[in-house]
Chain A
Amino acid sequence: GAGVSQSPRYKVTKRGQDVALRCDPISGHVSLYWYRQALGQGPEFLTYFNYEAQQDKSGLPNDRFSAERPEGSISTLTIQRTEQRDSAMYRCASSLTPQLAGGPPDTQYFGPGTRLTVL
């Protein structure tokens, strides 16, 4: 079946513009995660959804970043008033079951990522 898809794959924008990054998880996957990966670094957790509920947004760097998943499927990560330091690979992942503290880990399946460049 189809894996996690993300669009656009590449986005170049000017400083100050807003961008919206889309993630389409594997069909039926309950949990959805956003990560950001700067050059030379590993992915860094941003936020997490179970169904449509945003369970944790503690990893979002500041209030210019927001995410939603209104129908419990597709998610959008929005960055307002982009800055050059926002340039990175933005990765989305999904897993089949809700992840609970102390529960067994479910495999997170990653999308291809969106490469964001802010000029």
Chain B
Amino acid sequence: AQRVTQPEKLLSVFKGAPVELKCNYSYSGSPELFWYVQYSRQRLQLLLRHISRESIKGFTADLNKGETSFHLKKPFAQEEDSAMYYCALRDANSGYALNFGKGTSLLVTP
């Protein structure tokens, strides 16, 4: 069975502070991990994926297989980063289904 855990339901930081959204997974195989974001009144959208090794909107995420983690980080949070963030794991056995964590609501205050 595979599972994605986001231990924080709500994370509040001040503008300019570093932010780390935690994601841990359990999966017996080579995981494919994603971060999705939902801004207020907008649809769920892909933020980044681990295979791309890219930085989007200043966010990065590194897959740590030893710790089975895929934490999302940004050195200096901005107010526009306030949103709901979901970590997701792709079921490589099926090739399509995304397994989502429960999400973390990030609030960046001035």
Contacts and interface: CB of A to CB of B under 8 A. Distances in A.
Interface of A: 3-4, 31, 33, 35, 40-45, 48, 55-56, 59, 91, 99-105, 107-113
Contacts, number: 67
Interface of B: 4, 6, 9, 32, 34, 36, 43-46, 49, 51, 86, 88, 90, 92-103
Given A43-B44, A103-B95, A110-B44, 11 more contacts: A33-B97, A40-B102, A42-B88, A42-B101, A48-B94, A55-B96, A99-B94, A99-B96, A102-B92, A107-B46, A112-B43
A42 B103 contact: yes
Q: Is the interface of A mostly helix, strand, loop or mixed?
A: loop
A103 to B, nearest CB: 6
A111 B86 contact: no
24 contacts: A4-B43, A31-B96, A35-B98, A40-B9, A41-B103, A42-B86, A42-B88, A43-B86, A45-B99, A48-B97, A55-B96, A56-B94, A56-B96, A56-B97, A99-B94, A99-B96, A100-B95, A102-B92, A102-B95, A103-B95, A105-B51, A110-B43, A110-B45, A113-B43
A47 B13 CA distance: 37
A41 B96 CA distance: 20
Contacts of B46: 107-109
A33 B25 CA distance: 22
A111 to B, nearest CB: 6
B93 to A, nearest CB: 6
Given A42-B86, A42-B103, A113-B43, A101 B98 contact: no
A117 to B, nearest CB: 18
Nearest to B46: A107
A3 to B, nearest CB: 7
Given A91-B44, A105-B51, A112-B43, A43 B98 contact: yes
Contacts of A33: 96-98
A112 B93 CA distance: 28
B6 to A, nearest CB: 8
Contacts of A107: 46
B100 A105 contact: no
